[in-house]
Structure 1
Amino acid sequence: MIGACRARDFGCIFKLVKARAGIYPSMIARRCDLTPSRVGEVIAGRRQLLHMDVIERISDGLHIPGHMLGLARRAWEAPAGLTVTPREPAEERIPPDEPLVAALPGADVDSVLALTAERDLSPSTLDALHSSIADYWRRDDEHGGETLRPAVVGQLRYVVDLLKEQRPAPFRDGLHSIAAELARLTGWTYFDARQYNQARAYFTESLALAKTIGDHTFMANVLACMSLQATYQDKPGDALALVSAAQDQARAVLGTTPRVLAMLAMREAFAHATLGDQDATHTAISEAHTHFGRITTGDPDPAWVAYFNEPKLIADTGIAHGRLGEAALAEPLIADALRREDQASHRGRAFHAVWLARTQLQRGKLDEACHTAMDALVPAAAVSSQRVVGHLREFHAQLEPFRREPAAVAYEARLRDVLPGRVSGSPRP
């Protein structure tokens, strides 16, 4: 590997990571933001990778230290000069007149306390961890996940640490399930922050944890998240491949609930719509509604799919039509979903309001579109979500031809007042 990196022989590098780390070409492509065909050509020796931005993506995607590829130290590497060497403890000297500051316990204290802490698990312990995840999701939906992320990552590390000890099979499976959920939640917070490489890394970790215990339904859930991310990255082919894999996982399980199948069918519709395939999009939408119509009280739905209720189905149907440019079909659906949506769901309301504004603008309803976009600003200000801000920026740019119209001027002023600094500059095409 050292020799291959020195020569920047990426064909050899890709073969080594497949043979030694089990990272197959399709995974290399996803991690390094390359197409599978391009990875295949490199492995076959028909293509060379010379551009620095591509080499940096490979370094980050495969976690190859920068110096091995002739790059600067990567952001995820340990700080330069950080070494750990055995030494005698030195007495800490405090400069005179410097006030003592209370500090949080560090890793050393945590390690000491871990030796005396009770590590026995009970069903109530697993229930408590699941409850905390449900609370994290609620707070993420209301306020965004950026401030939650340190707590979620900390709990993920704690659960992974518990897995290092010998446990009875039921507890071990339960911990794997919890760790998979925490990794997916972490990936989601990075996705919502538009930090796609980090999101993909955590989604991949979640997928591996779920695979360890054969939880095919949860694997389908993670793959569906990755498919949605691919639509945001303008990779519709990847989005379709990922959601197809998700549906395969769901079908492998007897008793997958109609709500899960409906959610997956709608993600398929998003992928087809991003590809511009009208017939396939309409077919997938129809399948989503058919599955949803089969939901009955008492279905053993996983907790993670509870969000996919009727207003969400209607909103997503409208968004799929909107992605196809079918604004006349999209507008009434999204408007109806907004009227029925939970007021506490700030991100969802902001997101759907922006989509409604975009469809109204497509239909030539400038005044209505600007008014709807103003309604989106209040929930958008209440949640930390770069994904929502990105949609606001896109709508802002779409107003360029109308920037001197009174409605657009009023929206621009309101935008700067409610979200100062988050969406700046004049609208651009």
Structure 2
Amino acid sequence: MDRPSPDPREVVAGLLGDERLTTACAERDMGRLFRILNARGVSTRRIAAAADITQGRLYEYMNGKSRVEKLALFEQIADAFHIPGHLLGLARRVWEPPPPAAGHEREEQPPPAGDELAAVEQFRSADRQAGGGRLYGAVVRHLSERVAPRLVDIGSGPHVFAAAAALTEMAGWMAHDSGHDERAAQHFTRALPLARASGDLPLAAHIAASNSHLALETDDVAGAVGWARGGLDLAARGPRIPALTARLHTIQARALAVARQSAPAAHALEAAHRDLAAPQAADHPWLSPFDAATPAGESALVLRDLGRHEEALSHAEHAVALRAAGRVRSLALGRISLVELHLRRGDPDAAVHVGHELLRTSPTLGSVRVLRQLDGLCQLLERHREYRPVREYLARFDDARRARMLLLADLIPSSPGGTTA
């Protein structure tokens, strides 16, 4: 006699501390989630019925032939299996217990630093796949409900301030990715004194680099250079972390290149490459990784602004080759750079070839930043409309853009300048 299929909610409840389940949720890989439940004895018929999908579609997800993309379906799955909203980058679900009321005293020890580090890693992983627009609210709620109350606890140690700084900086990046640069600046401004209060100079330098990036994105070139120099000063006063100083030198090089200061920009870029070639220290717990693909992509932008398009193309191709498929936003930004460089070099055929790969970017990627860069790329392509392959590509591009705009309508800022029409 067959054993009855267990209740999927009970199975999920027992797996909420399991790294395999939390990673699947952070990466929004519902096929992997369904395989985990099936391996724990939940029948495919019961999984499909709970998620309100056909068994045929379920098998497509489980076999990796298709992925869940629609926000409504993620919410449906969260509610069907009682997966807490923050694990999938969603708002708190109606069935989740409310946070403790303000002023309600509990005799609990503050969670260890490892808990906040795990939260940072989960948010960071989900952000790479889904984009900051879908996760911003969850990060802000986590800060206000879990971290901020501990900042006023007299027994809290420096790690609490470091966690608050790292999560506040992350919220800033997600606001920037959502097209809300003023809000991003507010988060970065709040993050720096928290990092200083923790005594973590590398973290403070890392936040200075984020301020520099945002200043450059908002056309404050002098501010970008100033923040990069300030970050290098902070980094010099703390433990040596070559990847951190490489990031600061790279953003400084970008700002100097935009300012048409060719020699200083080239020197800063050389300094970044020297740091990357140096023996690397162990990863700092609160700093987002500066892997090999990131400096390659940034170097391409610096060299592009310096007019060295052939060198820029080599770095851009290297960056895309190194990017894992799970880094959806970074891969899209890298391919946008590649298309632009091919056009600047007068090779529209190569631009169209990479452009078709770009169209496969998930239309639900919650990144207004990517959407704006795609619009800028479209304007460049329009200059080559008389060339038939470009004209045919633009027709497909317009169709994909309309679909993307509909799917991201809830994220696109409505204020003037929020995005192009």
TM-score by length of 2: 0.70
Q: Does 1:193 align with 2:193?
A: no
Structure 2 contact 143–164 (Cα < 8 Å) conserved:
yes
Following superposition of structure 1 onto structure 2, how do residues 1-400 of structure 1 map, counting pairs within 5 Å? 110-111=100-101, 115=104, 117-122=106-111, 125-157=112-144, 158-167=146-155, 171-253=156-238, 255-296=239-280, 299-305=281-287, 307-379=289-361, 381-400=363-382
Q: Which amino acid aligns with 1:177?
A: A
1:166-187 CA distances to partner (integer Å, 9 max, x unpaired)?
A: 21xxx42111111111100110
Gaps of 5+ in 1: 1-101
CA–CA distance in structure 2, aligned partners of residues 423 and 361 of structure 1: 25
RMSD of Structure 2 on Structure 1 (CA): 2.3
Structure 2 contact 117–285 (Cα < 8 Å) conserved:
no
CA–CA distance in structure 2, aligned partners of residues 165 and 306 of structure 1: 27
Structure 1 contact 187–203 (Cα < 8 Å) conserved:
yes
Alpha carbons of structure 1 residues 358 and 142: separation in structure 2 relative to 1, 3 Å: same
Higher RCO (Cα < 8 Å, 6 or more apart): 2
Structure 1 contact 416–423 (Cα < 8 Å) conserved:
no
CA–CA distance in structure 1, aligned partners of residues 255 and 227 of structure 2: 9
- Length, aligned pairs only: 314
In structure 2, the residue corresponding to 1:115 is in which secondary structure? coil
Structure 2 contact 316–334 (Cα < 8 Å) conserved:
yes
CA–CA distance in structure 2, aligned partners of residues 305 and 213 of structure 1: 14
CA–CA distance in structure 2, aligned partners of residues 382 and 131 of structure 1: 25
CA–CA distance in structure 2, aligned partners of residues 303 and 322 of structure 1: 33
In structure 1, the residue corresponding to 2:154 is in which secondary structure? coil
Aligned-pair CA distance for 1:421? 5.1
Aligned-pair CA distance for 1:382? 4.7
CA–CA distance in structure 2, aligned partners of residues 274 and 373 of structure 1: 25
CA–CA distance in structure 1, aligned partners of residues 203 and 257 of structure 2: 25
Aligned-pair CA distance for 1:111? 1.0
1:412 corresponding residue in structure 2: 394
1:324-371 CA distances to partner (integer Å, 9 max, x unpaired)?
A: 232111112111221121111001110010001111100000111122
In structure 1, the residue corresponding to 2:132 is in which secondary structure? coil
Aligned-pair CA distance for 1:309? 1.6
CA–CA distance in structure 2, aligned partners of residues 182 and 239 of structure 1: 22
2:409 corresponding residue in structure 1: none
Structure 2 contact 116–163 (Cα < 8 Å) conserved:
yes
CA–CA distance in structure 1, aligned partners of residues 370 and 208 of structure 2: 22
CA–CA distance in structure 2, aligned partners of residues 292 and 408 of structure 1: 38
Structure 2 contact 381–394 (Cα < 8 Å) conserved:
no
In structure 2, the residue corresponding to 1:378 is in which secondary structure? coil
Structure 1 contact 259–295 (Cα < 8 Å) conserved:
no
Structure 1 contact 259–305 (Cα < 8 Å) conserved:
no
1:44 corresponding residue in structure 2: none
Structure 2 contact 131–365 (Cα < 8 Å) conserved:
yes
Higher Rg of the two aligned structures: 1
